[in-house]
Structure 1
Amino acid sequence: MSAPAPSEVLFYEQGASWLWVLAGPLAGFAMAMIQLSAGYGIQWVVPGIFFVLVTVFLAIQVKAARIHTSVELTVDELRQGTEITRTDEIVRIYPEATGAETPKWQYARALGELTGVPRGRTGIGLRLTNDRSAQAWARKHHQLRAALTNLVEERIPPEPSA
């Protein structure tokens, strides 16, 4: 028995970049340069501690961000962090929030296991089956909105304008 073929990825965000981990070596180098400029010479203990602590701390943060703030949309599923929503449960994409009044969908639960829309991301209102609302989110929210809209309109024709 063969595994089902993976669906085409329509949208993807990785959540965080491993480049942030380079701040660890830079912190160690900066401490070494501070020691050198102070005329003490370089004692490797303090720069080494900065190197290790900053690198490990940032590696943990980046790994967590790559798990909990990544987004992937395929024809079959929308994955926000570790939560997966079947795309056939998405009935409608709400219009973007404009003006001073907050739309009701912005009070809906954010998809994913986080308590709200992650910082640096923008929510996208979704109407789900069984009269539920939720917020998808992404940094490149316009691209995710366009991909979701195309996907939903292929299945469900848009509502006629009044």
Structure 2
Amino acid sequence: MTEGDTSDQVTAEEVLFREPGGTWWWLLAGPAAGGAMMAIQLSGGAGVQLGVPAIFMILVSGFLAIQIKAARIHTSVELTPTTLRQGTELVKIADIVRIFPEPKRHETEKWQTYRAFGELSGVPRGRTGIGIKLTEGRSGQAWARRHRTLRGALEQLVGEPSS
């Protein structure tokens, strides 16, 4: 198969909603940590020994890179006309029967105890759950930082208002 053949067969679906889960901008904390160590050395009057700031920069950048990569895998969201991807789990839009309404203030709804989609033990921190009823009596929680935008896109795809 030639390169032209594969591009004809694989068509990218339109992405209706996307959250990457983590930003690579946090890697700038590594050079900042190295710069801070250099400033500490200068303020101490001992002169600059480049090894210590370099080690701090490498260690901080390395640990952050691992965390960012994990966040981009496990807390990312992507909605297309046919699938909802929550982390590493795919939910077919055709399997969604109903989207539960947002809970009223200071009330807890039953759907808030449902399993969160993805490989995580619950809705990730900083995200808000969206109750979803699936076919065959299954249910779960979709989640996103911009949950109202995701909810609106899901309601348009499912075709049923959440009220």
TM-score under structure 2 length normalisation: 0.92
Counterpart in the other structure of 1:80: 86
Q: CA 1:39/1:110 → structure 2, altered by over 3 Å: closer, same or farther?
A: same
Worse overlay, 77-86 or 39-48: 39-48
CA RMSD of aligned residues (A): 1.5
- Structure 2 unaligned segments of length 5 or more: list them: none
SS, match of residue 51 in structure 1:
helix
SS, match of residue 36 in structure 1:
helix
Q: CA 1:5/1:102 → structure 2, altered by over 3 Å: closer, same or farther?
A: same
Q: Which amino acid aligns with 1:70?
A: S
Q: CA 1:89/1:33 → structure 2, altered by over 3 Å: closer, same or farther?
A: same
Counterpart in the other structure of 2:69: 63
Counterpart in the other structure of 2:116: 110
Tell me the CA shift for residue 118 of structure 1: 0.5
Deviations 1:99-127 (A, max 9, x none): 33310100100000111100010000001
Q: Which amino acid aligns with 1:36?
A: L
Q: CA 1:73/1:34 → structure 2, altered by over 3 Å: closer, same or farther?
A: same
- Structure 1 unaligned segments of length 5 or more: list them: none
Counterpart in the other structure of 1:21: 27
SS, match of residue 101 in structure 2:
coil
Cα distance in 1 for partners of 2:72, 2:161 equals 34
Quick check: which one's helix share is greater? Answer: 2
The 5 Å alignment of 1:2-151 reads 2-151=8-157
Deviations 1:39-96 (A, max 9, x none): 1111112111110100000000001100100000000000001100100000111000
Aligned pairs, number: 157
TM-score under structure 1 length normalisation: 0.92
**Percent identity (aligned):** 61
Conserved 8 A contact 2:155-2:161: no
Cα distance in 1 for partners of 2:112, 2:119 equals 17
Structure 1 outlier segments of 4+, above 4 Å: none
Q: Which amino acid aligns with 2:139?
A: S
Worse overlay, 81-90 or 37-46: 37-46
